Amino acid sequence: MASNDAEQQSGSRGTAADRIASVEAFQVAWRPGDAPGRRTAIVRVRTEGGLTGYGEASPMMGGEHSLLVVRDFAASLVGADPFDQAVIFDRLLHRYIKLGPEGAVTGALAALDIALWDIKGKALGLPIYKLLGGAWRTKLPFYASIGGNAERSVDDVVRVVEKRWLAETPAAIKIRWDGDRTRQDYDIPGDIAKARAVRKLVGDAFPLAFDANNQYSIGGAIRVGRALEDLGYVWFEEPVQHYDVRGMGEVAQRLDITVSAAEQTYTTQALVQIIEAGVRMVQPDIVKMGGITGLMQCAAICFAHGVELVPHQTQPGIGHVANLHVLATLMHNTKPAEFADPDDRMHVAFENPPIPQDGFFTVPDGPGLGLRIRDDEIDRRRS
Ligand code: CA
């Protein structure tokens, strides 16, 4: 069965194509005791010709569920042509579709897709953004994405925001709530007080965003959204539960502030549904829903619908750099790139770690992702 699949997946380019020799899937704990969400779910593909491609799955719950899926199909890819990445993607998606195409499976396929694009770029000696049609820019401004504010006092929110604002010189700041998803509307006056305090800290002109992390009812979201409009916030993210697509659309259409959603959207069809519901800024995540191939499909959908594409991103590692390659190719790149979780724990794995300088990330211009990854440092931390 596995070898038949491999033969079917083999390309017919008529050239002596390099072939996939192995597919590994493992978690990396950067530091002892790293919580699952701080680890990285890595997929590493090697070819018979000696190329190595790296991909990353969503780190949600440590990515273990996606890694299980990759391990399940890994042997079937041996012998396949890495240039067949889109055919491989759709074949595997439909093989595993009864698991539900949302989350673990699409995270697995995203990691594989990124690794195969990395190999394609290395085989051709070109950065991925060139293979995607070229870059409008290779320096990208970022916004500081600052989580955990539901539990903080107003003063602590201001203190945490001020620290990153001064340290990173971001182009914008987003305050995330990360609250209890089983409750709604439990501290709206406190939430508005925090939003107001942050506005006072940074002044009237600085771009701010508010990420509710799904904690409001529709009515609660309208109330908070009106306050954010008065405070000059630029966007209001995931005000209601992501699975309430109709409700998300209603909030988006009733408010003047731009409402964003879709970081928890895993297929192109689901993306279209949330746009049809009324959301006009969407945030699919490259490591959750299709890798580079999937995010480029999202870009086409957004362009056709006149919708802003502002991808969600968590860890500043492999997925982050894959995301930068796609952002470089977007004509309408309306918002800065998300920069969450900025610390140096991953830097040991890269000769050229993705670190912002003077308010910008620079897309690496080496072959593939352009990341020079230290295999030995990765292997030392794998679990
Ligand atoms: Ca978010």
Q: Considering only CA atoms, which of 185, 58, 36 is closest in space to residue 111? A: 58
Domain containing 63 equals 2-125
- Following CA atoms 53, 58, 62, 67 in sequence, which dihedral angle do they give, to the nearest 10 degrees? -50
Long-range Cβ contact pairs of 191-197 (< 8 A, separation 24 or more): 191/224, 192/224, 192/227, 193/154, 194/149, 194/152, 194/154, 194/157, 195/224, 195/227, 195/228, 195/231, 195/233, 196/227, 196/231, 197/154, 197/155, 197/157, 197/158
Question: What is the CA(17)–ligand 1 centre distance, in A?
Answer: 41
For the record, the structure tokens of 175 come out as: 């305050």
How many Cβ atoms from other residues are within 10 Å of residue 292's Cβ? Answer: 27
CA distance 84 to 9: 7
The answer as to whether 17 is a domain residue is: yes
The answer as to whether 372 is a domain residue is: no
The pLDDT of 17-31, averaged and rounded, is 95
The answer as to whether 197 is a domain residue is: yes
Residues 96, 146 within the same domain: no
For the chain, what percentages of helix, strand and coil (3-state, to nearest 5) are there? 45, 15, 40
Alpha helices in 104-231 (DSSP H): 104-124, 128-131, 154-168, 188-202, 218-230
Question: What is the CA(379)–ligand 1 centre distance, in A?
Answer: 31
Give phi and psi for 132, each to the nearest 5. Answer: -85, 0
Residues 284, 175 within the same domain: yes
Query: What is the chain's mean pLDDT, rounded?
Result: 94
The pLDDT of 168-195, averaged and rounded, is 96
Question: What is the CA(259)–ligand 1 centre distance, in A?
Answer: 11
pLDDT exceeds cutoff 50 at 11: no
Question: What is the CA(315)–ligand 1 centre distance, in A?
Answer: 13
Q: Which of 104, 125, 146 is the last residue of a domain?
A: 125
Question: What is the CA(337)–ligand 1 centre distance, in A?
Answer: 13
For the record, the structure tokens of 238 come out as: 């995931």
Neighbours of ion ligand 1 (CB under 5 A): 211
Give phi and psi for 165, each to the nearest 5. Answer: -60, -45
Q: What is the pLDDT of residues 101-160, one digit of tens each?
A: 889 999 999 999 999 999 999 999 999 999 999 999 999 999 999 999 999 999 999 999
Query: Which range (7-16, 321-330, 358-367) has the least confidence?
Result: 7-16
CA distance 285 to 164: 23
Question: What is the CA(144)–ligand 1 centre distance, in A?
Answer: 12
- Per-residue confidence band for 5, with pLDDT thresholds at 50, 70 and 90: very low
pLDDT for position 343: 79
Residue with tokens 């779910």: 41
Give phi and psi for 214, each to the nearest 5. Answer: 70, 25
pLDDT for position 33: 84
pLDDT exceeds cutoff 90 at 88: yes
The answer as to whether 159 is a domain residue is: yes
The answer as to whether 205 is a domain residue is: yes
pLDDT exceeds cutoff 50 at 56: yes
Question: What is the CA(66)–ligand 1 centre distance, in A?
Answer: 20
pLDDT for position 16: 59
Question: What is the CA(18)–ligand 1 centre distance, in A?
Answer: 39
pLDDT for position 9: 37
Question: What is the CA(79)–ligand 1 centre distance, in A?
Answer: 39
Which CATH number do you get for residue 100?
3.30.390.10
Q: What is the pLDDT of residues 287-297, one digit of tens each?
A: 999 999 999 99
Residues 103, 151 within the same domain: no
Residues 93, 184 within the same domain: no
Question: What is the CA(263)–ligand 1 centre distance, in A?
Answer: 7
Residue 360, classed as helix, strand or coil, is strand
Residues 162, 248 within the same domain: yes
Question: What is the CA(83)–ligand 1 centre distance, in A?
Answer: 33
Question: What is the CA(309)–ligand 1 centre distance, in A?
Answer: 14
The percent of residues in the chain predicted with pLDDT above 90, rounded, is: 88
pLDDT for position 6: 38
Residues 44, 177 within the same domain: no
Structural domains in the chain (count): 2
Question: What is the CA(209)–ligand 1 centre distance, in A?
Answer: 10
Residues 101, 140 within the same domain: no
The pLDDT of 56-67, averaged and rounded, is 92
pLDDT exceeds cutoff 90 at 62: no
The answer as to whether 260 is a domain residue is: yes
The answer as to whether 380 is a domain residue is: no
Residues 97, 205 within the same domain: no
Question: What is the CA(281)–ligand 1 centre distance, in A?
Answer: 12
DSSP-assigned beta bridge partners for residue 54: 44
Residues 167, 243 within the same domain: yes
Question: What is the CA(68)–ligand 1 centre distance, in A?
Answer: 25
